[in-house]
Structure 1
Amino acid sequence: MHADIHLRLHELRADELRAEAADHVPRERLRTQLGWTLVELGLRLLEQPHRGPARRAIRTA
């Protein structure tokens, strides 16, 4: 394959990938969304009544 054709194919593929990337959620927005989800989960866990550690009954034979 000629170098100029090879380079042109790479340019076309790069343009396609850039167009696809423009449709996706920006990484910073995704991190923010994940962060708030984790905060919400933590708050829900705090609202639950605290249960002490499970105690096992000790059997003596």
Structure 2
Amino acid sequence: MHPDIHLALHHARATELRAEAGAQGPVRTRPIHRLRARLGWTLVEVGLRLATRPGTAAAAH
């Protein structure tokens, strides 16, 4: 499969998903979902910082 075809398929699917999302109307995010997302990204950030600290096994690779 040619890379451009693969990209075209992704763009087509993204267009379909945007159309479906637009048809459903705006999504109201509950505060608990925002809190979970924020906590999740904070944990990712902490993990990345720990993994790239000098002297750690992950930073040596």
TM range (shorter): 0.3 to 0.5
Larger relative contact order (CA 8 Å, sep ≥ 6): 2
Relative to the length of structure 1, the TM-score reads 0.43
Relative to the length of structure 2, the TM-score reads 0.43
